[in-house]
Chains A and B, each alone.
Chain A
Amino acid sequence: MKTRIFSLAGIAVLLALCIAAPQMLDAYSLGVALQLLSWIALTQSWVTFSGLTGYVSLGHAVFYGLGAYVMALLWQSAPLWEILLGSGFAGALLALVIGYPALRVSGPYFVILTLGLSEFFKYIVIAVEAGLESSGRLIFGAPDPETLYYIMLLLAVVATLLTWGLARSRWGAGLRAIREDETAAETLGVPVTFLKIAAFVISAFIPGVVGAVWVLRTTYFEPMQLFSPTTSFTIVTMAIIGGSDRAPGPIFGAAFIVLLSELLWARAPHVYLVILGVLLVSFVLFVPKGISGQLAWLMRRRRA
């Protein structure tokens, strides 16, 4: 009970700080905060599907990129919030189309298939853009960074609540059962096919919106960059380091990586990726439940 009050107070303080941040931070720091929030939203969405079901998607960049593309195409032809929702639905729809066939395979096959489909889609967009004789789209009159910050904050909060609520629900228990043993889950009445596809579709919605916000921030749409598989890899890295089974995981993971890259990119660009690689391997080997899992374990031990 006591820990519960503490964590609720902690969350309230954190949220208040996030809301006040644009008034307190300079432009550069606000940019970092925006980035942090976007990674939290992306990783959190990934966890609602891959963390719970164990189906590791290496293709979430495609939803992000598609959302950005929808925004780049429709910007100024409709109200901002309509395009944002449209970007989200575009991501969700693509997940439905990809998910139905892709979720028939599991394990490494699913990983490779999602990565492949994501790359495939990237080159389709590149071909379409080349056909339209457009080699990148500039966005004029994008909203100011503060507005984008609040939209991103909302996305991060919604994504976190989604993971938190789903992980505690009956459906979340069903998704975890799929991760542990799909056949056994089926014998307990878990509608495995429906549940996997539903979770995949939900998990693709927010990345679509995040991509749309992000392209407004960079004010330039370039498919190679916005569909880059690096986005997918970073999401998985953050989930592994933070912990992929509960809502605090992506927050720790995203904060850790964003801060690390801020500290090291400028000072030691040559060793940054080396350090990241070493960290990733160490976490997989020694802290398989990530920072959040480790903290939960420490707290349980202290109480016992």
Chain B
Amino acid sequence: MPDPLHVDLLRVDLLQAKNLCAGYGEMEILKTVDFSIREGSITAVIGSNGAGKTTLMRALSGLIATRSGAITFDGGVVSGLPAHERLEKGVALVPEGRLVFPDFTVHETLKVGAFSPRAHEGWKQRIEDMYALFPRLLQRKQSRAGSLSGGEQQMLALARGLMSRPKLLLLDEPSLGLAPMMADEVFRQLRTIRDSGITICLVEQNVQAALDIADYGYVMEDGHVKMHGPAAELLTMGSIRESYLGL
């Protein structure tokens, strides 16, 4: 177990958000959020419904505009860029509710996952890599995405996101609506993905499972970051055990 301070010195922030504000229409959801993701880590964002977790993911990926504040990624400011240009720099979002393309087959979905120019190089090999990572998808290669089970759809959404060759994978509620065994499988795969060199940031309702696999955690409340720290520390804090784990 390396000393956390030592880790801090060695690793750099892949993404940083400073005084980030964002929202929809008249509604301001994120109110000056400061947030960072360390390269090579799994960062978990937890918080109750309406805390702004999904909005944070959408703002980081560029699906909604930044109102004020700045997001830097990999050394450059990205807050003014539209989603497809952020993807080109390596920020990929797997949206909440999976949002698979119902009429596409599994194979077509993976192909279109490599839509961005960044993803062109080696896309055929990457599809094979995805089938190796998610063998269930190989079995259902020619099935319509709409006919897959919830767990299979989540794996497909993950694989589709990975097809873009991201440096940072943002996941919005990857275990939502999954049976516990399926959720466990997804969380295991997230570790494998992290170990392959892709930084992960996930939003989760399943606080225990998220903090178990995460290196670092943020707790959001009412559009603010309420606290943050190494995941293992957050798990032992009384207030978190009480509010989010019901212990």
The answer on A and B forming one complex is yes
A residues apposed to B, CB below 8 Å: 170, 173-174, 176-177, 180-181, 183-184, 186-191
Contact with B101, one of A170, A177, A189 (Cβ below 8 angstroms): A177
A-contacting residues, B72-104, CB 8 Å: 82-84, 87-88, 92-95, 99-104
Q: How many Å from the CB of A105 to the closest CB on chain B?
A: 15
Q: Taking the complex as formed, is B164 at the interface, i.e. its CB lies under 8 A from any CB of chain A? A: yes
In the complex, 28 of the A-B residue pairs with CB atoms within 8 angstroms, ordered by the A residue number, are A173-B108, A173-B111, A174-B115, A176-B101, A176-B112, A177-B101, A177-B104, A177-B112, A180-B102, A183-B95, A184-B100, A184-B157, A186-B63, A186-B84, A187-B83, A187-B87, A187-B93, A187-B94, A187-B99, A187-B161, A188-B87, A188-B115, A188-B160, A188-B163, A189-B88, A189-B119, A190-B84, A191-B84
Fill in one digit per residue for B148-191: 1 if any A CB lies within 8 Å of its CB, else 0.
00000000010011011000000000000000000000000000
Distance A74 CA – B190 CA, assembled complex (angstroms):
65
Q: Taking the complex as formed, is B239 at the interface, i.e. its CB lies under 8 A from any CB of chain A? A: no
Given contacts A187-B61, A187-B161, A188-B113, contact A180 B83 (CB under 8 A): no
Q: Taking the complex as formed, is B116 at the interface, i.e. its CB lies under 8 A from any CB of chain A? A: yes
Q: How many Å from the CB of B1 to the closest CB on chain A?
A: 36
Q: How many Å from the CB of A193 to the closest CB on chain B?
A: 8
Q: Are B63's CB and A189's CB within 8 A?
A: no
Given contacts A173-B111, A183-B63, contact A189 B116 (CB under 8 A): yes
Given contacts A183-B63, A187-B93, A187-B94, contact A177 B99 (CB under 8 A): no
Which residues of B are found within 8 Å of A188, using beta-carbon distances? 87, 112-113, 115-116, 160, 163-164
CB contacts between A and B, total, < 8 Å: 65
Distance A173 CA – B63 CA, assembled complex (angstroms):
20
Q: Are A189's CB and B164's CB within 8 A?
A: yes
Which residues of B are found within 8 Å of A191, using beta-carbon distances? 82, 84
Which residues of B are found within 8 Å of A183, using beta-carbon distances? 63, 95, 99
Chain A residue, CB-CB nearest to B88? A189
Q: Are B104's CB and A187's CB within 8 A?
A: no
Residue tally, chain B, CB below 8 Å to A: 30
Q: Are B115's CB and A190's CB within 8 A?
A: yes
Distance A10 CA – B232 CA, assembled complex (angstroms):
68
Q: Are B83's CB and A186's CB within 8 A?
A: yes
Contact with A180, one of B94, B104, B118, B163 (Cβ below 8 angstroms): B104
Distance A189 CA – B88 CA, assembled complex (angstroms):
7
Q: Are B104's CB and A189's CB within 8 A?
A: no
Distance A189 CA – B83 CA, assembled complex (angstroms):
7
Q: How many Å from the CB of B100 to the closest CB on chain A?
A: 7
Q: Are B115's CB and A187's CB within 8 A?
A: no
Extra 9 A-B pairs, beta carbons < 8 Å, given A180-B103, A187-B161: A177-B104, A177-B115, A180-B101, A187-B83, A187-B92, A188-B87, A188-B113, A189-B83, A191-B84
Chain B residue, CB-CB nearest to A181? B99
Distance A52 CA – B242 CA, assembled complex (angstroms):
51
Chain B residue, CB-CB nearest to A180? B101
Q: How many Å from the CB of A27 to the closest CB on chain B?
A: 45
Q: Are B87's CB and A189's CB within 8 A?
A: yes
Distance A187 CA – B163 CA, assembled complex (angstroms):
12
Distance A190 CA – B163 CA, assembled complex (angstroms):
13
Which residues of A are found within 8 Å of B95, using beta-carbon distances? 183-184, 187
Which residues of A are found within 8 Å of B161, using beta-carbon distances? 187
Which residues of A are found within 8 Å of B99, using beta-carbon distances? 181, 183-184, 187
Q: How many Å from the CB of B78 to the closest CB on chain A?
A: 14
Q: How many Å from the CB of A53 to the closest CB on chain B?
A: 13
Given contacts A176-B104, A184-B100, contact A189 B94 (CB under 8 A): no
Distance A143 CA – B214 CA, assembled complex (angstroms):
74
Distance A187 CA – B61 CA, assembled complex (angstroms):
8
Q: How many Å from the CB of B95 to the closest CB on chain A?
A: 6
Which residues of B are found within 8 Å of A174, using beta-carbon distances? 112, 115
Distance A161 CA – B144 CA, assembled complex (angstroms):
27
Chain A residue, CB-CB nearest to B108? A173
Which residues of B are found within 8 Å of A176, using beta-carbon distances? 101, 103-104, 112
Q: How many Å from the CB of B58 to the closest CB on chain A?
A: 9
Q: Are A187's CB and B63's CB within 8 A?
A: yes
Distance A197 CA – B102 CA, assembled complex (angstroms):
24
Distance A35 CA – B46 CA, assembled complex (angstroms):
63
Which residues of A are found within 8 Å of B111, using beta-carbon distances? 173
Distance A183 CA – B93 CA, assembled complex (angstroms):
10
Q: Which of A187, A188, A191 neighbours the largest number of chain B CB atoms within 10 Å of its CB? A: A187
Distance A181 CA – B112 CA, assembled complex (angstroms):
12
Distance A180 CA – B160 CA, assembled complex (angstroms):
14
Chain A residue, CB-CB nearest to B160? A188
